[in-house]
Amino acid sequence: MILVGNRGRVLNIRDDGKDIPIETGLSGNLRSVAINPIDNSALLVGNAGTLIAIKNGLATRLTSPTYENLRAVRWSADGSQALIAGNNGALIKYTEQGLEMIEGSRANLRGVSWRRSSQEALVTSNCFAEAFVPSPNLFLFDAEKNTLTPVNEGRLDLIGVDWKLDGSIAVVVGYDVVWHTGFIGRFEAPSLSAVPFQNEQVYPTAASWDPTDRTAAIATCITQLRSGEGRIMLWNGDTLREIYRNEQFFFSAVAWSPVGFKLAAIASTAARTFDS
């Protein structure tokens, strides 16, 4: 497992629990990492357009087509391509042929999830671009056509997203920027519907389905100190159950182990929803 963080820090967490630093030569903050499911290489993204490829423990800086802060990166299930999302509509497709900017969005993009056995990915977004210009908050990317199509609009900043392995539905999370209520949604093409829950001052930021496709883990953050707790909830497609909360730690990522009903979540005492 590879973890990334501020000031260019990268750690390879081995199965025996030892942390092996990977030198990147960077001082900027890294925001996301994705492991290629075929060759186990890694792609790292961060602020100021930072792109780094890691193979066999060696880090290589890639020439980025943007200086925007990059927030999320995900590989397709066949490992042939990755999609990178960032601020001000920055969306980049990465393949062996190189890096390609994808047009069609303008607000800050927040999350990516590929539909398994498909060339499609969902991309989440803020609902406003510069100067409060309304923007779609959820897009569907077609990798074969290189097209980005809006599939939802409204006053929600959508952040986390994850398709079920069977591709039937995706869970999408975020919050209402006007009423400051949390949002958990079920995307079943072509529409997004809300999952009812006690959502006042709750800010979901991350979601992940377990390998059996039975349960999605959902993590929350806060917008400012003393505005709420970090929480971990489980959703089985029908009911929502909270399993953990803490007033000091606020979550930006959650993921399941490939085997066993175990999950890990990344938290910080300084994390904020708008940074996730």
Q: What string of DSSP letters covers 136-199?
A: -SEEEEETTTTEEEEEE-SSEEEEEEEE-TTSS-EEEEEEETTT-BEEEEEEETTEEEEPP---
Task: Report yes or no on 19 lying in a domain.
Answer: no
Task: Report yes or no on 211 lying in a domain.
Answer: yes
Contacts of residue 56, Cβ cutoff 8 Å, sequence gap at least 6? none
Read off the CATH number of the domain in which 197 is found: 2.130.10.10
pLDDT tens-place string over residues 67-103: 999 999 999 999 999 999 999 999 999 999 999 999 9
DSSP assigned state of 69: P
Please give the tally of structural domains in the chain.
1
> In the beta sheet, which residues pair with residue 206?
219
- Enclosing domain of residue 204: 77-275
Residue 241 scores a pLDDT above 70: yes
Task: Report yes or no on 92 lying in a domain.
Answer: yes
Task: Report yes or no on 5 lying in a domain.
Answer: no
pLDDT of residue 12: 74
Residue 151 scores a pLDDT above 90: yes
Residue 56 scores a pLDDT above 90: no
Task: Report yes or no on 57 lying in a domain.
Answer: no
Rg of the chain over Cα atoms, rounded to whole angstroms, equals 17
> In the beta sheet, which residues pair with residue 176?
156
Task: Report yes or no on 202 lying in a domain.
Answer: yes
Task: Report yes or no on 49 lying in a domain.
Answer: no
Q: Is 87 helix (H, G, I), strand (E, B) or coil?
A: helix
Q: Which tokens sit at 185? A: 């949604």
Q: Is 115 helix (H, G, I), strand (E, B) or coil?
A: coil
Task: Report yes or no on 24 lying in a domain.
Answer: no
